[in-house]
Amino acid sequence: MNTLEKTYPTIGCCGLDCGLCPRFYTVGPSRCPGCAGPNFFKKHPSCSFITCCVKKKNLEVCGQCFEFPCSKFKSAEEYQKLQDSSSYPPDKKILQNLKFIKKYGIEKFMVQQKSRIKLLKTMIADFNDGRSRSFFCRAAALLDLKILKSSLDKASQKIKTDKIVRTDVKKKARILKEIINEFTAK
């Protein structure tokens, strides 16, 4: 692995779901390439996780390290108590992601993450009204894959049944957001 670029920039060394973050889907110069992704070091200063994990140990994520979890990490309770960002709640799954990788390997994790990313790309391409990307990123990061898929299927069916035109993205976004909110309220 090239020490200046990770193979899987959609998962942060620290466990953040970079591939599910709104900044990863931003168009233009403020787009984030993911953790140690292409041109990352031209845009961002390195962090202590990247320095230790990628630069020193030549790993993709901290979950691959025999020292994980080290003192850089908070406790699970501390992560759960952190206030969500207004746009994206990455801290909630940091330890869960890394523990999964430690137990099952990064390849198995990436299969799940690629499924989440695919669903998120569909939400952004077909349902984003210009104001919903962060909501969809949050849903893709936190909800069960079956719920995400079911929400998209249910929204597509409702759009078809209600004869909503493809170009009416505001209505489509509202429908999908309402369905996602229904699932999370249960």
* Residue 63 included in any domain: yes
Phi, psi of 151 (to 5 degrees): -60, -45
What confidence tens digit (pLDDT) does each residue in 2-56 have? 447 789 999 999 898 999 998 899 888 888 899 888 888 877 777 888 889 988 9
* Residue 153 included in any domain: yes
What confidence tens digit (pLDDT) does each residue in 122-165 have? 999 999 999 999 899 989 998 999 999 999 999 999 999 999 99
pLDDT at res. 99:
93
* Residue 4 included in any domain: no
* Residue 10 included in any domain: no
What confidence tens digit (pLDDT) does each residue in 61-84 have? 999 999 988 877 766 666 666 555
Q: Structural domain tally of the chain?
A: 1
pLDDT at res. 77:
66
Range of the domain at 180: 18-185
